[in-house]
C-alpha cells in the first residue's frame, strides 16, 4: 500500500476539537477495549452485559 492510501481517522468532538488517529492507534484502542471487556466478564457477568449494551448503543448512534 502507498502511504497516501493510509489516511488517518479524524474524530470531531463537540467543542470543535479534532483528534487524528492512524491505523495502529485504532487497532491498539480496539484491542484494549476487548481485553478490558474480557477482564470485566471474569469479575461480573452482569457488568459485561452492560458494557456490551453500551458499546452497541454507541455504535448505533454513529
Ordered per-residue pLDDT tens for the chain, 62 residues: 566 566 777 777 767 777 777 777 777 888 888 888 788 778 887 887 887 888 888 888 76
Give residue for cell 469479575. Answer: 43
pLDDT for position 2: 63
pLDDT for position 19: 72
Q: How many domains does the chain have?
A: 1
**Domain containing 21: what range?**
3-61
Q: Using CA atoms, how far apart are residues 26 and 8, in angstroms rounded to an integer?
A: 10
pLDDT for position 6: 67
Sign of CA dihedral 47, 52, 53, 57: positive
pLDDT for position 37: 77
Please tell me the pTM assigned to this model: 0.49
- Hey, which residues does 20 pair with through a beta bridge? 10
Sign of CA dihedral 28, 12, 7, 51: positive
Amino acid at each position: 500500500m502507498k502511504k497516501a492510501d493510509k489516511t488517518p481517522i479524524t474524530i470531531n468532538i463537540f467543542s470543535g476539537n479534532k483528534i487524528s488517529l492512524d491505523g495502529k492507534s485504532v487497532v491498539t484502542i480496539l484491542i484494549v477495549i476487548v481485553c478490558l471487556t474480557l477482564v470485566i466478564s471474569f469479575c461480573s457477568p452482569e457488568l459485561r452485559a452492560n458494557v456490551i449494551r453500551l458499546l452497541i448503543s454507541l455504535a448505533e448512534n454513529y
